[in-house]
Amino acid sequence: MNRCRVAVDTPAHSGLGDTLDYESEQPLAPGTLVRVPLGRRDVPGIVWPAEDTAGPDAPTDGASAEDFALKPVAEALASLPPLPPAWCQLVEFTARYYQRSVGEVALSVLPPELRKLDDAGLAKRMRLQDKRATKAADGRLASAAASAPALPDLTPEQATVLAAMEGAPPACHLLHGVTGSGKTEVYLRLAEAALAAGRQALVLVPEINLTPQLEARFVARFPGRRLVSLHSALTPAQRLAHWLAAHRGQADLVLGTRLAIFCPLPRLGLIVVDEEHDPSYKQQDGARYSARDLAVYRGKLEGATVLLGSATPSLETWHHAQTGRYPRLTMAERVGQGPLPSVHVIDMSQQPRPAPGEPPVALAPALKAAIEARVARGEQSLLFLNRRGFAPVLHCTACGWKSDCPHCSAWRVFHKLDRTLRCHHCAFTERVPRACPECGNLDIQPVGRGTEKLEEQVGELLPGARVARIDADTTRLKGSLEQQLAAVHAGDVDVLVGTQMVTKGHDFRRVTLVAAVDPDGALFTADFRAPERLFATLMQAAGRAGRAAEVAQRSEMWVQTYNPAHPLFAALKAHDYARFAASQLQEREMAGLPPFAHLALLRAEARDADVAEGFLRAAREQARTWADELGVGEQISLYAPVPPHVARVAGYERRQMLVESALRGPLQRLLAQWVHGLPSLRSQHKGVVRWAIDVDPLTI
């Protein structure tokens, strides 16, 4: 019998290690998928690399051989090639750095369908896939022979960037290119070079709605190559088929969202992270990993070139480029030499005030006139408001009642089309009451503005204009987003109202005006990253205007704000990211914030806020003890527990505690010890439902 280590997903409170030992009649290569007994059930597992594969240790005095007998592996999925050693190393690094178990990370990043199949079922799937792949390959070859795509001429900046990367040893590069500068063409040329060298390319995008557009570009450029996508909108069967194609080397190109960073690729040569600054690359539950940071690590691990592309890089990435850690490549001109949109900042405090009882003005007169001029010329305008629904809250004018959520410390949003009050945190939904639930007053009014209300107001202000809205509410049905985007591209929309989902990555050729209707809410929050996020969002939104060279000269960005003197808007008017980043980094360094410090958050949830806080206070004392024993007490700061911005969600009170260090090493050493001691506190704080450590949190 052969002894093997197997990574299985065990509960964090079980006290079991990262891997468990089993025995097998046949030697099993590391990376082999297996099914093993755990308790009273069989669970999926992965044979994990081990230095020692000898038999079980001999029993100590007083223990019988039965006490140390290993359970046998129930089944090995021998039809599937083992996961490569580099994949196991990536998973192990992720588990260690983000303080999760190896088994949890390893199994959670596999396709759910794969975890359910036995070897016979998997072999059948693979045979069917091979037949389809053969037919599809014949079709791709015929298509490639019939229509080789004509390559567009490179701009001087694109040529310079590609020349700098050609022949360079694998490394991580930052591509800082303004919106419309042709970063996608650089990605295509680099992918072409990787494929010509017999390698595979992995392209990451922040959101699913960007996948179809980019996928179409890659399919058109590489008609003889197989491209697969990986994201949560796929069916389980599609996700498994695409994952298998990548793992078995049948797919040349993989395009996906953050989870695709764990896709096994035996010939990986290129990783592109498009819009690398986007917070969507950070996982917000389970193992809270950053796909962008793991892309950098994976590139180094597998000798692959990594390209981080953005018009507004994250301050961490920009800092690494400033200090020489990442070579920086710049594309400061748009394709066709068109100018960036001119930016107009409107002081809303100086605009005409509405009559008593009338709602606040949706569009300033100057902005309204500018949109009307676009409609008359057959051009398009995009209005950005990052708040969906009709109004953020309903309010009783008699007793002051507001549409709060009974399960969350947040308001329920008024959605006018279906007459509902909907909590965007826990999804609790009720019909809008006919009268105030507290006093019976019939006069309950919406307060504030969401995209649904803005769409209605614009329709009233611009009679005859074709107004459309794209947000999470209008794109729920499968295929609806593609249909709405197609209508915009076809010129069937004059004014598009949307949330952040339409402000990045889309190539709207007819849009010449973009307006941020109400960005002030993002300026003043407790989160130190708020200005960075808002500047990136506004810069990305501005980049939707004037992308076609023939209309670039008259493209504009309008910002309606009550704080026109804020330095963020001055940098936006000049399209000066470097100036904004320098001021933000100076503030961060003075305050001891990332990238000049390293953070972790311990979060706890309980029905009772005192229970959650008690758990965190006990954890804080435990951490102090560990820090002193490890000799890093002077290098670690442990702050008191505090509530987050939304303290209660779905009936659970949430509290968090910040851990800070100027150096990454001491923080990681503390966390590695601390994570094993925290389960022991649950017996003293039994009301705690869940807790989690978030390394490098995006929000605090």
The residue among 415, 434, 437 whose CA lies nearest residue 424 is 415
Could you report the per-residue pLDDT of 5-20, keeping only the tens digit for each?
Answer: 999 998 665 666 778 9
Strand arrangement of the beta sheet that strand 328-331 belongs to: 227-230, 253-256, 200-204, 268-274, 305-310, 172-177, 328-331
Output the CA angle 247-249-251, nearest 5 degrees: 95
| Alpha helix stretches (DSSP H) within 387-506 | 451-461, 480-489
Residue 624 CB coordination number (10 Å): 14
Can you list the residues of the chain whose pLDDT is less than 70?
11-16, 51-68, 138-147, 357
From residue 436, give the alpha-carbon distance in Å to each of 414, 547, 583: 14, 49, 48
Could you report the per-residue pLDDT of 298-326, keeping only the tens digit for each?
Answer: 999 999 999 999 999 999 999 999 999 99
Ligand-binding annotation for 4, yes or no, is no
Domains of the chain are 2-108 (3.40.1440.60), 150-336 (3.40.50.300), 339-389+449-590 (3.40.50.300), 392-447 (no CATH), 598-695 (3.30.70.360)
Distance CA(438)–CA(451), nearest Å, equals 28
Q: How many CA atoms lie within 13 A of 198 on its CB side?
A: 1
The reported pLDDT for the residue numbered 57 is 41
The reported pLDDT for the residue numbered 527 is 85
Q: CB of 502 within 8 A of CB of 470?
A: yes
The reported pLDDT for the residue numbered 526 is 76
Distance CA(396)–CA(33), nearest Å, equals 59
| E-state strands within 450-575 | 467-470, 495-498, 511-516, 556-561
Amino acid identity for residue 361 in this structure = V
Could you report the per-residue pLDDT of 499-514, keeping only the tens digit for each?
Answer: 988 888 788 889 999 9
| E-state strands within 332-404 | 342-347, 380-384, 393-396
The reported pLDDT for the residue numbered 159 is 96
The reported pLDDT for the residue numbered 54 is 37
The residue among 645, 622, 624 whose CA lies nearest residue 634 is 624
Which residue has tokens 């694998």? 170
Ligand-binding annotation for 172, yes or no, is no
Distance CA(562)–CA(113), nearest Å, equals 51
Ligand-binding annotation for 399, yes or no, is yes
Residue 301 CB coordination number (10 Å): 16
Ligand-binding annotation for 88, yes or no, is no
Q: CB of 543 within 8 A of CB of 179?
A: yes
The reported pLDDT for the residue numbered 138 is 63
The DSSP-derived string for 17-33 is -SEEEEEESS---TT-E
The reported pLDDT for the residue numbered 479 is 81
Residue 49 — left, alpha, or beta (φ > 0 → left; ψ -120 to 50 → alpha)?
beta
Ligand-binding annotation for 263, yes or no, is no
The reported pLDDT for the residue numbered 680 is 87
Q: CB of 308 within 8 A of CB of 117?
A: no
Token pair recorded at residue 615: 């758990």
Distance CA(313)–CA(585), nearest Å, equals 13
- Name the pTM for this structure: 0.92
Residue 71 CB coordination number (10 Å): 13
